[in-house]
Amino acid sequence: MRDDLWKSGIGMTSQRTRERLMERLFEEGIRNLQVLEAIRRTPRHLFLDEALAHRAYEDTALPIGHNQTLSQPYIVARMTELLLAGGPLDKVLEVGTGSGYQTAILAQVVERVFTVERILPLQERAKSVLREIGIRNVVFRHADGNWGWPQYGPYDAIMVTAAPAEVPAELLNQLADGGRLVIPVGEREQYLTLVVREGDNFIHQRIEPVRFVPLLAGAIHS
């Protein structure tokens, strides 16, 4: 990532504010140092509209337009930590690029990220922010992520940042043996769920209650 950018920002978007966020996540139980370091380095305010930038380092979800939200930093950190708990990761599929903030965190702790978004303008904006901050190990796809991205699978890990009623079968198919999938599941009541593949078995574990926007069907242009 470009040094000048992640050091930039004054007042509520400064490096010091980012360090406080990192300390807060540590207090909330995030222990993975790679994840904490990625949070500390990443200018979250660049992923938001200017009018919201001053709130970027609060531990809260924030709107990014098109009825979508940038996830709360604690959740971003927790999901990333759960993926990494099985060891270093090469290929990771992300469904729901949104602002690209979670993508940026992932890209700093794994080798390659393949990210899919159904709303084209969100994808374009995320692409340009990631380019601006110098993150290059990400490829983007405008599509319905319920179908994964078969071309590059199987993946060592898959992260989904919108909630389906049930885990999409195609995502399980594209998970490598030993691979880990982190996904919010449920409608009115949602649970962050970790699925670990062992051959043809999929071990599901409920982690904690969460609130995500729904995983929808089909890709749209506006």
Residues belonging to the active site: 71
* Contacting range for ligand SAH; rule: CB under 6 A; set: 7-15, 31-39, 91-99, 194-202: 91-99
Residue 72 within binding range of ligand SAH, rule CB under 6 A: no
**Binding string, 193-212, against ligand SAH, x = CB under 6 A?**
--------------------
Task: For strands 190-198 and 201-210, give the pairing.
Answer: antiparallel
Residue 118 within binding range of ligand SAH, rule CB under 6 A: yes
Rounded Cα distance between 118 and 116, Å, is 7
Rounded Cα distance between 64 and 169, Å, is 29
Residue 42 within binding range of ligand SAH, rule CB under 6 A: no
Residue 146 within binding range of ligand SAH, rule CB under 6 A: yes
Rounded Cα distance between 139 and 198, Å, is 27
Q: How near is the Cβ of 46 to ligand SAH at its closest, in Å?
A: 12
SS3 of residue 116 by DSSP = strand
Q: What ranges in 110-213 are assigned the alpha helix state H? A: 120-132, 169-173
Q: How near is the Cβ of 185 to ligand SAH at its closest, in Å?
A: 14
Nearer to ligand SAH, 3 or 165 (CB): 165
Among 74, 101, 114, 155, binds ligand SAH (CB under 6 A): 101
E-only strand ranges, the chain: 62-65, 68-70, 91-95, 112-117, 138-142, 155-160, 175-185, 190-198, 201-210
Tokens for 216, please give them: 């929808």
Among 125, 144, 157, 197, binds ligand SAH (CB under 6 A): 144
Q: How near is the Cβ of 149 to ligand SAH at its closest, in Å?
A: 10
Rounded Cα distance between 65 and 16, Å, is 28
Binding site for ligand SAH (CB under 6 A): 64, 68-71, 95-96, 98-99, 101-102, 116-119, 122, 144-146, 161-162, 213, 215-216
